[in-house]
A and B are shown apart, each in its own frame.
Chain A
Amino acid sequence: MGSTRNIRRRIRSVKNTAQITKAMQTVAASKMRKAQDAALNGRPFAAQAIRLLANAARSLDDYEHPLLEVRPVRKRAVILLTTDKGLCGGLNANLMREASHYDRDTTLFIGAGKKGAQFIARTGRRLAAEFSLEDNPTFGDAQAVARAAKDLFLQGEVDQVEVLFPRFVNTLHQQPERLPLLPMESLWEEELKDSPDADAKTTPVDYLFEPSPGEVMSAMLRSFLDFQILQLLLETKASEHSARMVAMKNATENADQLIKDLTLTYNKIRQADITTELLDISVAQLAIN
């Protein structure tokens, strides 16, 4: 009889776990819908911004701006976008595997999301700045991250800035991706490479500028960099909630399966016990007669 009590206890504890994961799945699912919408709606703006900058920059060959300066790369900074919380499947692990490919001595990390910052500290890499990544990232959050990166680049601490983030593909799939960010030219070269719109690459147009080329360019460079980062934060959030939803769904399903198996075992043992008891009684009866 002892073992049935043990199994009953286990079933109860698994049921509790399933209840919790089920609740977390529901929460993640509702956040996921919002985050996915935000990420998808922001994409046209980000893509247009890059296209506009690319076109403008190509039409102005000799324009110079500190954010465009290309230097030989001795040191680079990597903005590592991860989540603040765990329980989201392999999302962070995949990012960290990618992050560990960077050279330890010449790479400075900017961690946005606590998990990434913890990883950098744990593996003894250099962390230049750390930000936490709340739900519903705002423009202000993006600017804070952008400013940290810009400062490092403009002060000559690093010669290149890359972003490592989970690109949101769909609910089941998030792809860790490296995106060069500064000097800004690399940003649009990378994006235009896989843009379907072929004429954007080939024909530089001579644009007129209002009020002046310098003013237009510097205003666009400054604000679009922030928006680019904001878009990446939104992608990260969409990935996080999708990954968590899927992970929690799997956990709930596993728990339900486990409950089923345990219940089966429990019933078998219970029946075996009854059979043994009946046998005992019958044997005793026979012995008396």
Chain B
Amino acid sequence: MAAKLKLEIVTPDGQVYAREVDSVYLPGADGELGILPQHAPLMTLLGSGEIVARRGPEEDRILVTKGAAEITGDKVSVLTVFATDEADVDVTKAEEARARAEARLKEKLSPEETSLVQASLAHSLAQLKFKRRRQRK
């Protein structure tokens, strides 16, 4: 089938991904979701994990933490605060981000701020985990 999905990932810093793909795996809040073209319209919250986009033999992996996704038959729009392309994962940067987030958590913060910092911490931890797994392979 020639049907394709258009995958769009947008963060507050701009659009990070926009491509035609064959299938998408999303880390839903309650578990992984596999999306093929012609999927029923769906809105879902995202947890922390990887978005895997398949284009023929190729695969793009983007790490995300928290967010929401809208799925229609031909399009997947992902809105998230933290998205990092697999290629851009940088251990030192992630370590720094983790240290910064941990330091911020010790300060006095409003509830909303705390949740954002926690998400940022989760995102840097996810990046580190991802890198470690890659190295083992």
Assess the B116–A139 pair: CB atoms within 8 A: yes
User: Do A52 and B10 form a contact, CB below 8 Å, given A45-B79, A210-B33?
Assistant: no
Interface of A is mostly: helix
Name B41's contact: one of A42, A205, A231 (CB within 8 Å): A205
User: In the complex where A44-B15, A227-B12 touch, is A208 in contact with B45 (Cβ < 8 A)?
Assistant: no
Give chain B's interface secondary structure class.
strand
Given A52-B70, A52-B77, A216-B68, A208–B14 Cβ distance below 8 Å? no
B47-76 interface (Cβ within 8 A of A): 68, 70, 72
Nearest CB on B from A150, distance (A): 11
- Please report the total number of B residues contacting A with Cβ < 8 Å: 26
Question: B30 interface residue, CB < 8 Å from A?
Answer: yes
Q: Which residue of A lies closest to B72 (CB)?
A: A205
Instruction: Judge if B135 is at the interface, Cβ distance under 8 Å.
Output: no
CA distance A149 to B45 in the complex (A): 25
- Residue A72 interfacial (CB < 8 Å): no
- Report the bound CA distance from A55 to B42 in whole Å: 11
For residue A196, CB closer than 8 A to chain B, the reply is no
Closest to A41 in B: B14
The answer to whether A208 and B41 touch (CB under 8 A), given A42-B13, A44-B10, A140-B113, is yes
Chain A residues near B116: list those with CB within 8 A. 139
State whether A48 touches B41 (Cβ < 8 A): no
Q: In the complex, which of the residues B12, B72, B113 contacts A45, with contact meaning CB atoms closer than 8 Å? A: B12
**Cβ–Cβ < 8 Å partners of B41 in chain A:** 59, 205-208
Find out whether the CB atom of A48 lies under 8 angstroms from the CB atom of B77. yes
Residues of B with C-beta under 8 A to A219:
45, 68
A45, B45: Cβ atoms under 8 Å? no
B29 proximity list for chain A (CB < 8 A): 210-211
| In the complex, A220 has a CB within 8 A of chain B | yes
Contact B28 A210 (CB under 8 A): yes
- CB within 8 Å of A: which B97-134 residues: 110, 112-113, 116
Q: What is the 8 Å Cβ interface bit string for chain A, positions 190-210, against chain B (1 contact, 0 not)? A: 000000000000000111111
Interface flags, A4-15, vs B, CB<8A=1, else 0: 000000000000
Chain A residue numbers with a CB within 8 Å of B70 are 52, 55-56, 207
Q: Which residues of A contact B15 (CB under 8 A)?
A: 44
In the bound complex, do residue B28 and residue A49 qualify as a contact, i.e. CB atoms below 8 Å apart? Answer: no
Please tell me the number of chain A residues within 8 Å of chain B, measured between CB atoms.
Answer: 30
Is there an interface contact between A143 and B43, defined as CB atoms closer than 8 Å? no
A289 to B117, CA, bound (A): 98
| B30/A220 in contact, CB under 8 A | no
Contact with B79, one of A52, A147, A205 (Cβ below 8 angstroms):
A52
Q: Does A248 contact B (CB under 8 A)?
A: no
**A210 lies within 8 A of B40 (CB):** no
Contact with A along B1-44 (1 / 0, CB 8 A): 00000001011111100000000000011100100000011111
8 Å CB contacts to B: which residues of A197-253? 205-211, 215-216, 219-220, 226-227, 230-231
Q: Which of A140-167 contact B (CB under 8 A)?
A: 140, 143-144, 147
Contact B113 A220 (CB under 8 A): no
Docked CA distance A55–B44 (Å): 13
Query: Which residues of chain B are near A59, meaning CB under 8 Å?
Result: 41
Residues of chain A with a CB closer than 8 A to B44's CB: 209-211, 216
Chain A residues packing against B (C-beta within 8 Å): 41-42, 44-45, 48-49, 52, 55-56, 59, 139-140, 143-144, 147, 205-211, 215-216, 219-220, 226-227, 230-231
What are 7 of the A-B contact pairs (CB < 8 Å)? A44-B15, A45-B10, A48-B77, A140-B110, A207-B42, A215-B45, A219-B68
Question: Which residues of chain B have a CB within 8 Å of any CB of chain A?
Answer: 8, 10-15, 28-30, 33, 40-45, 68, 70, 72, 77, 79, 110, 112-113, 116
